[in-house]
Chains A and B, each alone.
Chain A
Amino acid sequence: GENVEQHPSTLSVQEGDSAVIKCTYSDSASNYFPWYKQELGKGPQLIIDIRSNVGEKKDQRIAVTLNKTAKHFSLHITETQPEDSAVYFCAASRTGTYKYIFGTGTRLKVLA
């Protein structure tokens, strides 16, 4: 069935370093890949997304890359700051299903 694997489950980095979170999806028809950040006591907030016709997208310190052949996409955060500490979720969706399949989440800790 549909599945999204996300690694690592926890990630600790020093402030200023980069963080990379990786996801692999199983449904080759998936064509939309959002990333969400969830802080304690809040709902997931969209931070960046990418569609299948694009290989890379960047927004300031955040970037996402997509490899359709490998069914793999990654989130890159550069110059991490303590406020980046949160749980990050990747998701995959395909046209006509109106639902997201989420990864299991990555708890990112940025150490000051």
Chain B
Amino acid sequence: KAGVTQTPRYLIKTRGQQVTLSCSPISGHRSVSWYQQTPGQGLQFLFEYFSETQRNKGNFPGRFSGRQFSNSRSEMNVSTLELGDSALYLCASSLGFIGETQYFGPGTRLLVL
């Protein structure tokens, strides 16, 4: 079974631009979670989607948004990029039921100049 895939793998943007990252979960998984990983803050939860509905959201500004499609694929968008948004953005998928294990993709490394 194919794992979680994320595109693109690397991205360079400038301040003020916006970016969209994509995540395809493991086949059959209906939950997609997004995390931001930085050296200073570690892994921080952004949001989680299940069957196109956001079930939980972390403490990030409204510039960070996401959505999920009917095929469970998910996208996250960051508008008005700031230098501090430079990070590895990780997507994780699970079946979506209580206590299910999350499986991570390789991440998208975003550099904001």
Contact = CB atoms under 8 A, between A and B. Distances in A.
B99 A31 contact: yes
Interface in A56-103: 89, 91, 93, 95-103
Given A41-B106, A98-B56, 13 more contacts: A31-B99, A44-B43, A46-B101, A49-B101, A89-B42, A89-B43, A98-B33, A98-B50, A98-B96, A100-B102, A102-B42, A102-B44, A103-B42
Nearest to A104: B42
Contact of A102 (B43, B56, B96, B99): B43
Contact of B99 (A51, A101, A104, A105): A51
Contacts of B45: 99-101
B16 interface: no
Interface of A: 31-32, 34, 36, 41-46, 49, 51, 89, 91, 93, 95-105
A98 B55 contact: yes
Given A43-B90, A89-B43, A98 B105 contact: no
Contacts of B55: 98
B48 interface: yes
Interface of B: 4, 31, 33, 35, 42-45, 48, 50, 55-56, 58, 90, 96, 98-99, 101-107
12 contacts: A31-B99, A42-B107, A43-B4, A43-B90, A49-B101, A51-B99, A89-B42, A89-B43, A98-B50, A99-B48, A99-B56, A105-B42
